Amino acid sequence: MKVDVYVLYGGKSVEHEVSLLTALSIINALNKEKYNVYPIYITKNGIWYNKGLVRETIKDVGELKNFSTKSILKSIAEDFLKKIKANTRTVIFPALHGTNGEDGTIQGLLELLDVPYVGNGIMASAVGFDKAMTKELFSKANVPQAQYEILDYQEWIKSEKDSYVRLEEAIGYPCFVKPARLGSSVGINRCGNIEELKEAINEAFFYDIKLVIEKEIIGREMQISVIGNESPKSSVIGEFIQEKPFMDYSAKYLDGKLIPVIPARLSDEITSKMQETALKIFKLLNCNGLARVDYFVSHNDKFFVNEINTMPGFTKASMTPVLWEKTDGTSYQQLIEKLIEYAFERHEKKGTLLYDRRII
């Protein structure tokens, strides 16, 4: 019997277009002899649309989009819930990035439906998506990272000048201003003086009410992929050579000027330590399925964790699939199938738990 795979993509997120690219790759890569593939498009207004069973290759992301006049509630009920067939092996693949997809919200819905789904659960997704929360957790766990401060919108409104003074004294320049709960480098800016800091903070507060301000680390940007459930595995380390001072949205998705170097040019000792740290973080956040841990490595081979991404970019050219191909020869299609297996494995284990008090 074929497995029914429902691929969720799009969503109410500034990373909507990135999600379309991920979904296009996943849908086309899934073996139609083994899987019944159903794309579920979520518009920028949050309306769900089921495109039906896919039998042929989808050539363009434009084919993945649709328009519906239904309400959000009705669209979820009719285009998603009613379409899930009873008595079949079904798995949900949330190919969603950013808000309302990577932050624990969609995971909460899928947990209530008690259906297997690819990737991380509610807690790992919510905490991993919140840069401020992960910074605090990393600090408690002695994970090396850049010096940082957290800026809350209400604090900034009440005492803007005092906020700038605090940040200049604690962090200084150059620094980076980041929305706490956003990805794909949206809303992130490098600041070299007070004027740039003010401008960056004003922009970042359009995207979130909580910001992370980090001291700049001069170093190479590297990434490690981790996959699995209770016994996760770490990939080799990948490095990006880039023209820009940091990987903004254009550098990642539009310019095409990032050159991956895999494996990264590192000693065996630091490679091992970085892989151990990636596994430590994966377990610390109680991750499942997959995650990508991003690093800075300085000129003297000191490494600093930048962030964890609980639903990394997942096109064929994205770092996560490329890392596994270089690690053990796992193809893009094979990696997708592994993630589906992890989803079933996690769901089956959860099914053994008791939800009534045991009387001895």
- DSSP secondary structure string for all residues of 36-62: EEEEEEE-TTS-EEE---B-S----GG
Q: Which of 119-128, 175-184, 308-317, 320-329 has the lowest mean pLDDT?
A: 175-184
How far, in whole angstroms, is CA 308 from its chain's centroid?
8
307 is in an annotated binding site: yes
SS3 category, 180: coil
Mean pLDDT, residues 276-281: 98
At 256, the pLDDT band (50, 70, 90 cuts) reads: low
Is 220 assigned to a binding site? yes
| 62 is an annotated ligand-binding site residue | no
Rounded distance between C-alpha atoms, residue 311 and residue 128, angstroms? 10
With a pLDDT cut of 90, the percent of the chain lying above it is 83
Q: Assess contact for 306 and 298: CB atoms under 8 A.
A: no
> Which pLDDT belongs to residue 234?
98
- What was the pLDDT predicted at 359? 67
What's the pLDDT at 259? 79
Taking a C-beta distance cutoff of 8 angstroms, is the pair 190, 213 a contact? Answer: no
pLDDT at 1: 84
Which of the four pLDDT bands, split at 50, 70 and 90, describes residue 314? very high
The owner of tokens 């301000």 is 213
Query: What average pLDDT does range 93-104 have in this prediction?
Result: 94
From the candidate CATH numbers 3.40.50.10420, 3.30.1490.20, 3.40.50.280, 3.40.50.1100, the one assigned to the domain spanning 147-215: 3.30.1490.20
213 is in an annotated binding site: no
Residue ranges, CATH 3.30.1490.20, the chain: 147-215
Catalytic residue among 13, 125, 184, 225: 184
Name the class of domain 220-348. alpha beta
User: What is the CB neighbour count within 10 angstroms for residue 106?
Assistant: 22
Q: Is 68 a residue of the active site?
A: no
318: annotated active-site residue: yes
pLDDT digits (tens, 9 = 90+) for 139-168: 999 999 999 999 999 999 999 999 999 999
Any catalytic annotation for residue 184? yes
- Mean pLDDT for 64-70 is 89
Single-letter code of the amino acid located at 84: I
Rounded Cα distance between 107 and 118, Å, is: 10
Mean of pLDDT values over 312-318: 92
Q: Residue 254: is it exposed, middle or buried by C-beta count within 10 angstroms (0-12/13-18/19+)?
A: exposed
Q: Has 218 been labeled as part of a binding site?
A: yes
Q: Of these residues, 19, 25, 225, 318, which one is catalytic?
A: 318
- Distance, in Å, from the CA atom of 298 to the CA atom of 218, rounded to the nearest integer, reads 6
More confident residue, 36 or 357: 36
What stretch(es) of the chain map to CATH 3.40.50.20? 3-117
**In this structure, which topology does domain 3-117 adopt according to CATH?**
Rossmann fold (3.40.50)
